[in-house]
């Protein structure tokens, strides 16, 4: 472990600028998390709408570049990706120092 005490006890380090920067960075991370959460909520709503539409009027083909041809596979992939994205997000209480 590194000894962080200054060699000269008379030397004081002003930590306020560093603390302010860390607080600003944490606030930015929290803002980014809120925006990402809102985007994921929007995606979840769109996915729920697509799933409901698929239940009402089943379709077999997906007209979306790079998507699986089968709608059920497409929706299942989208649901998995949405869950994975939510799992990677930090909880608000974890954004601290």
Q: Render pLDDT for 60-94 as a digit per residue (tens, 0 to 9).
A: 766 667 666 677 888 888 899 999 988 888 787 87
C-alpha count within 13 angstroms, C-beta hemisphere, residue 87:
6
Helix axes 16-56, 71-88, angle to 10 degrees: 160
Residue 80 located in a structural domain: yes
pTM of the model: 0.64
pLDDT value of residue 96: 72
Query: What domain range includes position 41?
Result: 16-94
Overall domain count for the chain? 1
DSSP state of 70: B
Residue 4 located in a structural domain: no
| Token pair of 90 as six digits | 């930090």
Name which residue leads in pLDDT, 73 or 38. 38
| Token pair of 25 as six digits | 């960075």
pLDDT value of residue 39: 92
Contacts 24+ apart (CB under 8 A), 26-32: 26/95, 26/96, 26/97, 29/90, 29/95, 30/92, 30/95
């Amino acid at each position: 472990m590194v000894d962080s005490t200054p060699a000269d006890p008379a030397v004081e380090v002003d930590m306020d600028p560093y603390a302010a920067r860390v607080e600003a960075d944490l606030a930015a991370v929290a803002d980014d998390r809120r925006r990402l959460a809102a985007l994921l909520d929007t995606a979840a709503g769109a996915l729920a709408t697509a799933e409901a539409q698929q239940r009402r009027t089943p379709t077999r083909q997906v007209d979306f570049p790079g998507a699986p041809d089968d709608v059920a596979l497409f929706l299942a992939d989208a649901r998995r990706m949405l869950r994975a994205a939510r799992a990677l997000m930090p909880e608000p209480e974890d954004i601290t120092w």
